[in-house]
Structure 1
């Protein structure tokens, strides 16, 4: 028997079916070992020795692999065909090598396949190879680099910038991209411009539209008409002019299809067309790759989905071309297959592009085997693959130049449009764009040179330039790929880390840096600038690629990096937090201290007369406070309001929402270290309420504020005991409370609207579940235990029914119904659970009696010793006292 190791159990099950009974396929469940999250896992001073550790689950799986390999004839390592897959095979092999004699005389082979189909698997088994050592070296270098940067730089952040979570080799550079874009948006100054469009008509009565391109011989581009006065002048000129066609030019244009999907382009298109987040796209793609049940047989539907290669395997080209001719006709099939080269920086083209494993599996046929999301993604891959080998689209782009003459003055107008003469691949697939511009998509009517045109209307419209858009997950991945930062397997993980650390937030599919992210980027850009530079990070990626090609020694790369990096970190040890904050005050001035409407100094404290606002830090992160603390207690939160502006709640950190009609006191919105809150009045301990998470602060009005301040509110008296039920907000959300029992409410708004009946119902449900939802329910009581006393009950738990006595729970057999359980049966189950047969109980009783007697004897001796010691101490104290008196 041969043992085959793959990553996932789904793959293991499928591949075992293909290989048959002479093979045993086991799953490693991903990586089996990792560097422990503590100092010393990588030791630069010991030639970068690395300590690997397996967690409890991995140890169990490794034990299963070891047991299987003992009785095997051959070990086949069949993990994924990339750097991570090679590393997993290496880790498994390293663990097995440590088991003395386990691998003696056993052939060890490495096989790779790009698709989980029977043909691909059997073919791979016929072409084994050894572990790719350079690829493993590249993995080790990458893992060591990430560890050294993270575990060396993160503690510097914790000490110098309290509240920061972590830094990373790739994540910090990606965060810098997001923050830099936000800075561009904040610094952007809108520019006014005007567009002038003329609605015209040909001699044949066909309508079309033209745009101004020149006035009195001076060219006018899109942004050149700056004022309404100028626009009105040009509009008047055109309205009184005679118009004629100066020239008509029609040019044929060929549009070639797009390359098949890589990891990056799949994530981008799935985001644009399907609305999938990058992580979700990869989850669905993983399922399609590992296989779904089609006609009773599990098979992979797409090739490996972590790749930056754009070529299609030669054996797949012919079926694709046949499908094009069959589905769309011979005119859609080019004379020769298309070949693509990747444009991304530092791309590794070791794998082919993402494609269907069998192009003949049409999405319509697959619909009954896939869920909605799987079908959408499979259809996208299928269409893109087929389109990539189709004929080019043939377009005709027409440009009409028009002259407008008004006395001594003149203007030039232009109309553009295009006509699809042959749709080619466009019949199947059109790539979406982040910024659509369809100005040329209009179709123009026939016109001839010198033809007079009729004027219908002239429109002058005011516009303002827009700032660059925030990154989406798709556009950030695209930019990282262009810069050579990260690799296909790291994109989604990097984005997840940024969100999990609270550095960015995803709002309407756009990535917005949080204040914590802005501070970290500001710190790293000023004190570790080299290590967040795009070129530096890309150069490291290039070196890792050279390692994987066998052209560089991996430890040489680590030595060069560590020598400079560790020296730089040592240079920051004397850096004070005050120095860091002074730097950040300048770097983040426009964000932390936005301009004021009255033109006053944005750093002047609005509370005291001579204080200066500055960034402050606490264990919860940064905030803005007055330099005159503690004499002046002014603070406000440093945060982002979703539009890129620092949030400052009114004068003195407050915003007046109105007056409470019941008390006549002011209701204010305030911002403190722990977030925004509302307050009633200015007494020593005024009523306050935090703003619930998810509420829009900008839309908070007096009515909502008074609702918050009214909490906790009285819902009504409980019908059973007449005690009051209240509703309020707690650290775990909205709740109702009665006589010490809390029950959660479904939503925030329910705390203001829940009625008495609903509250009583929720509380009853909570009590029925033992005080907490999901707790065990008591079904019936069987009686007292004959030996130890105490009730024996039958209960229903989350894992099924059981009998209970004290701390002993015994699960009921599957064939025993809870309602049929007798006291005798329960006693047997409890005794068996506790391991107490009658004979054993008698023995335990005797042992217990002996133990008790021994304890009493020991306690008596101890008491005697203590009594003697106390008497001696008292005697000594008396002697000392007498001596002191005598001395005096």
Structure 2
């Protein structure tokens, strides 16, 4: 019996939809596009190609798109309804099997339903399916925004024809991308070299990234000072007021007051508070009265953000959850295809009536009616270029499932993304956050002083209704999004307050921040560059082409990016303007709406007198005539050499960046990941000097200059750069001998410094962790984590459930955990009193012993809070008190608390920083003869040898006991390693267990599967493995001798990891230590510390 055939894009989507359709339907997947434009190299071998007709068709042979240049012919063809732009399509090799399956399924069907996505790509896929399958039965186009049973059944009842305007728009977009991409890439390769590419969306996006780096290079940092007065409101409370003016002029307070040269934008209206002025202000007005001259109260109201569009979804996922735009879209794709969310490629923030009802019901159940507005909130797009008619991204279905209900069905990342969508959707239908903002101006005068008038401002906010913030906190875009939530006392004009203390701080203006993927997506949407559905692909392509590399989340443009952008800007005046790409998008929208004919647009854009074809021909002619000039003009000017007035340029050729003096002077390679805002004239000159050495060995001949140049003291030698990884390869000396590393080790401060001493404290011990948490909680009231660590140290009777309830208070009222503790009324009398005492102790930190060293102050806090007493009652109390005493002594070395806190934060960063991959030199290698290729080979280990089919290994001779054979199963892997005890092979299999065999150094890069099997057939001789003896050496090359025991110091590995030993005392390596970088000095410190703990 015939069935209806339903075709969707993906197998996952097909599987989900098939659950909702009965036995009368067969659901198959096209697996994306089944056809694409032909490659130009394949045109002449295509069956449609006729030499006499097509040989002179330039666009066909160049792009795979057939056209006709004659305007008269084009006009006649259009009148006859014949297309004048004919893309040649071919079935992709990977789709041929799918197409055959679809044709077989179609033979058994009596109707065809095309259920591809409802956007231009989905519409085009549906059209291509009809063109290829040529169905002789009714064809229906069905669309839906979510994969639920109700949505699918409704779509079956509301089918339509394929929208050919949407198909034309997609086809036009594909033609533009092919022509612009091929032309820009072809030109770039002639000027810059292989690997350089350009594109309709890619090139303007890259230009924006480069422009931001240019702004950073031009930027001149400026220092300025700020002042904050601490004012007493009464005996129990105080508040801060920030200096905003002196002598009736506004004080510069941030980057907005300065231009890129570091000068004031409005010098007649604004004054810079220098260090001298800040000091005089502090001396003049400390303990003086400030009078309230203005007290204004205004209502505060903040509306929720709309539900997610594709763009805002990508931004929020990156900002809140990390990762990339591509990863965000991949997770959303899976959630959509499996029926958890609606379609994730959309420009619309709107919700259907069904979704509005579901969201409001969800709010009512989660928060109550007090958080629901009287009428639903309806959102419309603000973008003129929005193309889709979809809803916003939201949970699927008539009733939204909570994250709790589906957490067992999703992995961690999927659940996090779903929860973000769920909460954003509900929040969009909630009340505004409502409160009151109070702003107070306070002034003081000292007529006989240089600073005769000072103006301060205090701002506070009280939230009376949390509204949407009850469930959703937006990721802040800047510090401006986080206005003060301080609660000010009742103030009236004329009130006087004493400035008990004036705190002055130094600031420095910072250059514009580099783009992250999130901020770049935001800019692309605002500028109309590309579509939200293609943002992730564009950014990924820019990174894949090595136009940028990442430092954390920041996208840093490379030399290649600068040279490519310079070239495009020099040769394309209007085409590289952002408006050009945005206007092309608008024309695509008009085609999609049926307001513009596809062929009319393409003929005008390409063939007009000043059209694309003529522009490319002009530039090609220039390249043929004057390529050296064009290449020189594309270079980036680093600056002028002060000695001789010659310019130094940054160029890119042969896949490498380099600097050059003048047009044809000396050159020097630079690291490909060096940020160009760090490339100074001095640094460029040093690169050139290093490269000019005639007997350069291993890439760097001047060891000391290489160290200074690359700002590290750890370099023994730099062999070069692994282009596949974009990282330098180092040659180093360590405890196991010479070795190479890919990239640098995290730069821990020297152990001799106070920062190094603090970082190397045993922070893994609970007493140190709690002591540091007390310090953090006292210094930063908003450090919720620290407050929770110390809350029951010593025990104060605050149970887990109580902590959860206090967390709810903090979240509900948008306050810190400490503030929630102070406000709570849920604890019993005894724990409540204990908590109040703790808060009092923490609050006293700001006023007690503030002139004393930090270690002394922390000791007093630990005593007052009862933790010192708790330590004294622990097992091995004396040992633990000594450990804490050592921490306190280290803290006393610091002059400021700010330095302590920044050191602790830096420690966390270094702790989580990845260590570089390392590899020991083979015995036949030496530091004098190792090449970059040798090093890269070592770092490529372990090498994998796949088992292509199951093999039975017979042991010869067979063992007396146990099995005489085992199997190496198909798809298992043999790995080749270079270990501390020499090269070996290893396999861990289901049948064979773990098997290892030693091999020679000559085999490490050449051994094949057959040789491995032969080795594995020889029984392993089980004998006690001798630990490799590694005796550390002092700087003079002699064995390192411990000053206490008089014995040599060895590095060993044991059950709990690596350690150093003098034969009687063992000391484990600490955070930041590694076997490779262990020195005799550090080993002696570890042994001394261990003895102190034991004594």
Same structural fold, with TM-score higher than 0.5 when normalized by the shorter chain: yes
- What is the aligned counterpart of 1:395 among 435, 448, 454? 435
2:141 paired residue number: 110
SS in 2 for 1:213: strand
CA contact (8 A) 2:521 2:535 kept: yes
Give the Cα–Cα distance (whole angstroms) in 1 for the partners of residues 936 and 434 of structure 2.
63
The alpha-carbon deviation at position 696 of structure 1 amounts to 6.8
Change in Cα spacing, 1:651 to 1:349, as seen in structure 2 (3 Å) is closer
**Equivalences for residues 308-327 of structure 1 within 5 A:** 308-327=347-366
Query: Does the residue aligned with 2:129 lie in a helix, a strand or coil?
Result: helix
SS in 2 for 1:555: helix
Q: Structure 2 CA distance, aligned partners of 1:168 and 1:695?
A: 24
| Greater CA drift, 392-401 or 771-780 | 771-780
TM-superposed deviation, 1:617: 5.8
Deviation by residue 1:454-512 (Cα, 9 ceiling, x = unmatched): 22111222211111100000110100000111112211110111111111112201111
SS in 1 for 2:272: coil
23, 26, 31: which one pairs with 1:24?
A: 26
Instruction: Verify the 8 A CA contact 2:657 2:669 in the aligned structure 1.
Output: no
**Structure 1 CA distance for aligned equivalents of residues 152 and 491 of structure 2:** 62
Tell me: CA distance 1:214–1:75, structure 2 relative to 1, closer, same or farther (3 Å).
same
Tell me the equivalent position of 2:946. none
Residue number in structure 2 paired with 1:284: 331
TM-score by length of 2: 0.61
How many Å separate the matches in 2 of 1:780 and 1:667?
A: 45
Q: Alpha-carbon deviations, 1:618-646, whole Å to 9, x = none?
A: 433553345696xx764333744146333
Alignment of 1:132-281 (within 5 A): 132-222=163-253, 223=257, 224-239=271-286, 241-281=288-328
> Which residue of the other structure, out of 387, 412, 418, is the alignment partner of 2:461?
418
1:115-157 residue CA offsets vs partner (Å, 9 max, x unmatched): 0111100000000000001100100110000011112222122
Q: Does residue 675 of structure 2 align to residue 470 of structure 1?
A: no
Q: Deviations over 1:385-413 (max 9, x none)?
A: 00000111101111011121324532221
Contact 2:63 2:182 in 1 (8 A): no
Q: Which of these residues, 355, 371, 374, is aligned with residue 414 of structure 2? A: 374
Q: Distance in 2 between matches of 1:668 and 1:387?
A: 59
Question: 623, 640, 651: which one pairs with 2:658?
Answer: 623
| Matches of 1:433 and 1:649, distance apart in 2 | 42
2:100 pairs with 1:60: no
1:841-852 equivalent positions in 2, closer than 5 A: none
Q: Which moved more, 1:152-161 or 1:475-484?
A: 152-161
* 8 Å Cα contact 1:158/1:164 also seen in 2: yes
- Tell whether the 8 Å contact from 2:656 to 2:672 is kept in structure 1 after alignment: no
* CA displacement, residues 553-598 of structure 1 (integer Å, 9 cap, x when unaligned): 11111112212111011111232489566466566544xx3566xx
C-alpha distance after superposition, 1:796-837 (max 9, x if no partner) = xxxxxxxxxxxxxxxxxxxxxxxxxxxxxxxxxxxxxxxxxx
* Alignment partner, residue 368 of structure 2: 329
Alpha carbons 2:310, 2:345 under 8 Å: kept: yes
**Matches of 2:719 and 2:997, distance apart in 1:** 25
Alignment of 1:35-114 (within 5 A): 35-38=37-40, 39-45=62-68, 47-97=84-134, 103-104=135-136, 106-114=137-145
In structure 2, the residue matched to 1:535 is: 579
Q: Is the 8 A contact 2:5 2:111 kept in 1?
A: yes
Give the 3 Å change call, closer, same or farther, for CA 23–526 of structure 1 in structure 2.
same
Which of 680, 684, 693 does residue 648 from structure 1 map onto?
Answer: 684
Cα distance in 2 for residues equivalent to 1:249 and 1:478: 35
Aligned-residue CA RMSD (Å): 3.9
- From the superposition, tell whether residues 322 and 455 of structure 1 become closer, same or farther in structure 2 (CA, over 3 Å): same
Q: Distance in 1 between matches of 2:530 and 2:941?
A: 49
Gap runs ≥5 in structure 1: 98-102, 292-299, 605-612, 681-686, 718-724, 739-743, 782-888
Question: Which residue in the other structure is 2:4 paired with?
Answer: 2
- Aligned CA distance change for structure 1 residues 178 and 745 (closer, same or farther; 3 Å): farther
Q: Which moved more, 1:220-229 or 1:351-360?
A: 220-229
* Residue 759 of structure 1, CA deviation: 8.1
SS of alignment partner, residue 486 of structure 1: coil
CA-CA distance at 1:347 after TM superposition = 1.8
Matches within 5 A, 1:438-477: 438-477=482-521
* 1:348 to partner: Cα distance: 2.5
SS at match of 1:124: helix
Q: Choose which of 570, 574, 579 in structure 1 pairs with 2:621.
A: 574
Structure 2 contact 562–636 (Cα < 8 Å) conserved: no
Q: CA distance change for structure 1 residues 112 and 333 in 2, over 3 Å: closer, same or farther? A: same
Within a 5 Å distance, the mapping from 1:362-761 to structure 2 comes to 362-407=402-447, 409-437=452-480, 438-563=482-607, 564-576=611-623, 579=626, 582=629, 585=632, 588-590=635-637, 593-594=638-639, 599-601=642-644, 603=646, 613=648, 618-625=653-660, 634-637=667-670, 639-642=672-675, 644-646=677-679, 648=684, 650=686, 652-654=688-690, 667=703, 689-692=719-722, 713-715=921-923, 729-734=934-939, 754-756=980-982
- CA shift digits 1:47-92 (9 cap, x unpaired): 2211111122211111111122123111111101111100100110
1: CA distance, partners of 2:64 / 2:726: 44
| Distance in 2 between residues matched to 1:567 and 1:311, nearest whole Å | 44
Q: Is the 8 A contact 1:162 1:621 kept in 2?
A: no
Superimposed CA distance per residue, residues 302-326 of structure 1 (whole angstroms, 9 cap, x where no aligned partner):
0000001000011121122122112
SS at match of 1:571: helix
Flag the 1:388–1:576 CA change in 2: closer, same or farther, 3 A: same
Which of the pair has more CA radius of gyration?
1
In 2, the alpha carbon distance for the partners of 1:69 and 1:698 equals 58
Q: 1:3/1:581 Cα in 2 relative to 1: closer, same or farther (>3 Å)?
A: same
How far apart, CA to CA, are the structure 2 residues paired with 1:679 and 1:363?
50
Q: Is the 8 A contact 2:659 2:670 kept in 1?
A: yes
Q: How does 1:786-801 map to 2 (within 5 A)?
A: none
The corresponding residue for 1:825 is: none
| Cα pair 1:716 1:756 within 8 Å, conserved | no
Find the aligned partners of 2:998 and 2:496 in 1 and give their Cα distance: 83
Q: CA separation in 2, counterparts of 1:336 and 1:628?
A: 69
The Cα of 1:758 is off from its aligned counterpart by 5.7
Change (3 A) 1:287 1:388: same
CA contact (8 A) 2:307 2:392 kept: yes
Q: In 2, are the aligned partners of 1:213 and 1:220 still within 8 Å (CA)?
A: yes
Aligned counterpart, 2:824: none
8 Å contact kept, 1:530–1:536: yes
SS of aligned partner of 1:219: strand
**Change beyond 3 A, Cα 1:40–1:642:** closer
Q: Deviations over 1:679-720 (max 9, x none)?
A: 99xxxxxx9933456697699989899856999945389xxx
What secondary structure, in the 3-state scheme, does the structure 2 residue paired with 1:173 have?
helix
Aligned match of 1:876 = none
8 Å CA contact 2:650–2:660 kept in 1: the answer is: yes
Deviates more, 1:129-138 or 1:633-642: 633-642
Any conservation in 2 of the 1:667–1:702 contact (CA below 8 Å)? Answer: no
In 2, Cα distance between the equivalents of 1:325 and 1:151?
55
How many angstroms does 1:763 deviate by? 5.0
TM-score, reference length from structure 1: 0.74
Query: What secondary structure sits across from 2:340 in the alignment?
Result: coil
Contact 1:163 1:622 in 2 (8 A): no
- Distance in 2 (alpha carbons) for counterparts of 1:669 and 1:691: 17
Secondary structure in structure 1 of the residue aligned to 2:437: strand
Asked if the contact 2:297/2:438 (under 8 Å) is kept, the reply is: yes
Partner in structure 2 of residue 771 of structure 1: 1007
Deviations 1:278-299 (A, max 9, x none): 11111111111011xxxxxxxx
Question: Measured at CA, do residues 768 and 691 of structure 1 come closer, stay the same or move farther in structure 2, by a change above 3 Å?
Answer: closer
Taking a change above 3 Å as real, the CA distance of residues 336 and 776 of structure 1, as seen in their structure-2 partners, is farther
